[in-house]
């Protein structure tokens, strides 16, 4: 069975023209099967790119990519409720629910579930499948043991994030604005200054997390390239790249070559390291250790 490489929604606040050109290049050059579009983190960003969405979706579809529209991960205001309602009411598109309000509105029709909804066990998996979920992107903190148990029981297509900073939390408060001495309601969109998120250090000066508007991310970049074969053996066939401010076409090419058995994970990681300018990689969640850690491989865990 073919393994699909997918591109998750851009989580960061990139200028609309940059985002449009990014997706045009993905459509024309990237070996990805599915592209997720839409604002997930902050509804205040949504109006800037909205005028480009139809053109981008059409370009991706014409290039043979499947397009899925992602909903907000946190719904707080009446305006956000209406945004989610309008998205879920569209008949001719596939929608990824990233919170339960969207999932409830999509019940009874084919839809996707995003990694912001916690599916940790077979029982919750079956509930969402029974409501119509046919594609489920699992939370990044799940271990190999949990992924194998879910894959064994799944009817929906399961997806795992294999590249990119890991979403850890989202809040009603905007730390990004507060760090710049601004209030959330008058943030001046300062998150645009950090296209990969704003790095945070501990009091000792050690890199710790990254902040993206309302969202908290891992400082490290997840990289499960060495675990792809293991997940394929489990029956997982969908793998998500979360966009970072780098050459994502080349990132997709590198992962595709490993999935196709053309290139070895070790040499590919060296090339990925160059693309990420030395940002540390991590895969600890997969091995049920600290998420920030980078394990050498399955052998040391007796697999």
143: in domain: yes
186: in domain: no
The CATH number linked to 65 is 3.20.20.70
110: in domain: yes
Q: Is the pTM of the predicted complex or chain greater than 0.85?
A: yes
206: in domain: no
Mean pLDDT of 154-161: 98
Mean pLDDT of 143-168: 97
Mean pLDDT of 185-197: 93
What does the pLDDT look like over 122-138, one tens digit per residue? 999 999 999 999 999 99
Tokens representing 47 are 């109006």
What is the band of 1 on the pLDDT scale with cuts at 50, 70, 90? confident
What is the band of 301 on the pLDDT scale with cuts at 50, 70, 90? low
194: in domain: no
Greater model confidence, 7 or 183:
7
178: in domain: no
What does the pLDDT look like over 2-61, one tens digit per residue? 899 999 999 999 999 999 999 999 999 999 999 999 999 999 999 999 999 999 999 999
Buried b (16+ CB within 10 A) or exposed e, 23-57: bbebbeebebbbbbbbbbbbbbbbebbeebbeebb
Position 298 scores a pLDDT of 73
Instruction: Say how many domains are in the chain.
Output: 1
51: in domain: yes
- With a cut of 70, say whether residue 302 has pLDDT above it: no
What is the band of 270 on the pLDDT scale with cuts at 50, 70, 90? very high
Q: How far is CA 56 from CA 12, 28, 62, 196, in A?
A: 17, 11, 10, 22
Range of the domain at 44: 4-166+221-267
43: in domain: yes
């Amino acid at each position: 069975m073919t393994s699909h490489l997918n591109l998750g929604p851009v989580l960061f606040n990139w200028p609309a023209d940059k985002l449009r050109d990014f997706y045009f290049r993905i459509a024309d050059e990237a070996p990805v099967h599915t592209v997720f579009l839409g604002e997930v983190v902050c509804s205040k960003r949504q109006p800037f790119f909205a005028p480009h969405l139809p053109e981008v979706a059409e370009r991706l579809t014409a290039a043979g990519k499947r397009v899925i529209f992602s909903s907000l991960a946190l719904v707080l205001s009446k305006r956000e409720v209406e945004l989610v309602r309008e998205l879920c009411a569209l008949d001719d598109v596939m929608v990824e629910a990233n919170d339960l309000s969207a999932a409830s509105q999509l019940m009874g029709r084919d839809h996707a579930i995003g990694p912001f909804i916690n599916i940790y066990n077979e029982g919750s998996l079956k509930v969402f499948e029974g409501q119509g979920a046919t594609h489920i992107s699992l939370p990044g903190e799940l271990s190999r043991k949990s992924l194998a148990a879910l894959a064994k029981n799944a009817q929906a297509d399961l997806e795992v994030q294999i590249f990119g900073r890991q979403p850890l939390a989202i809040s009603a408060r905007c730390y990004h604005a507060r760090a710049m001495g601004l209030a959330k309601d008058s943030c001046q969109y300062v998150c645009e200054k950090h296209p990969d998120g704003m790095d945070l250090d501990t009091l000792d000066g050690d890199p710790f997390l990254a902040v993206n508007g309302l969202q908290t991310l891992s400082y490290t970049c997840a990289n499960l390239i060495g675990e792809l074969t293991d997940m394929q053996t489990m029956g997982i066939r969908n793998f998500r790249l979360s966009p970072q401010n780098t050459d994502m076409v080349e990132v997709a090419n590198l992962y595709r070559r490993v999935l196709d058995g053309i290139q070895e994970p070790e040499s590919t990681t060296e090339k990925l390291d160059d693309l990420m300018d030395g940002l540390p990689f991590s895969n600890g969640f997969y091995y049920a250790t600290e998420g920030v850690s980078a394990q050498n491989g399955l052998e040391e865990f007796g697999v």
